[in-house]
Structure 1
Amino acid sequence: MDTPHRALVTEAAAELLRRLQERHGRLMFHQSGGCCDGSSPMCYPDGDFLVGDRDVLLAVLDVGDGVPVWISGPQFDAWKHTQLVIDVVPGRGGGFSLEAPEGMRFLSRGRAFTDDENRVLADVAPVTGADYERGLRPPAHGTHVVAEAADACPVPLR
């Protein structure tokens, strides 16, 4: 079994990221842990959010020049069994997130990894901010872009 991606992005969110990259250059996400911005994935110009040594790199989304997706270490410990899917919906984004003026907001959806996926991921050490600073990168394989959120997070039928 291939190593599953810890983060994916929908095509609609990838398209918005491409537009934002044209305007702002390289981008990054940090998955907010709550408080003022709820639990939204916050989009910043790359480097405008200081990544801590214990933050975890979930993926580098293959959109444009690549978009790193970070999460705090303690939040990763709680979510490590979940695949994060970044989507976009109409509405007001977080105050500091770049999509706020676009009338859209990024939204995190999640899917619990299967037992088999969790076994594979148990053998893959996450890349931390300290690792990244030393030049370590996650292995690149396959695409991170899915057509629709339901392709990665099926919605149960009623």
Structure 2
Amino acid sequence: MRFHPLLALTLLAALAACATTPTAPSPRADAAAPAPVEGYDWFMHVEGGEAMLAYGVAQSDEVKLRFDCGVGSSRLNLIAPAMKGEREIHLESGGDTERYAAVAEPSGLHEGDLLIAEAAADAPVFQRFRRLGWIAAWRGGGREVYAAHPGSQKRVADFFARCG
């Protein structure tokens, strides 16, 4: 049997027509929005011209991250428990990341210090947090995600609307 180039091309074309297009890989599980943690949520408090949004356990001293602002000020005070040697608050939401230089002050509620920093309320990381309802803090080389429970994401949006 002799090799015939036209026959070989015809066979290759037929095989190519039978080939299926590979399907796109399914999204990674970690690409989805993070799940809320039982017992923790975002809580907002407004008093006079001040607003506060905190992630923690309701009616307790257990607070992982807190934002304060003067209503309409467009500025935030960021407050987070400090790990030894930390001097910045590193936040991330949906791919936007910011690092804020912080001052450590003794905590009046528990052992250790609190980190305190300032930020613009309209920074990309906060705009993303406002839309997605979750933000993460990088602490001691680890990432802690603070996701709103269904229904409480409105508190996040309301807080940023008040801050301006």
TM beyond 0.5: no
Compute the TM-score of the two structures, normalised by the length of structure 2.
0.31
Which of these two proteins has the greater Rg computed from alpha carbons? Answer: 2
* Bigger proportion of residues as helix: 1
Compute the TM-score of the two structures, normalised by the length of structure 1.
0.32
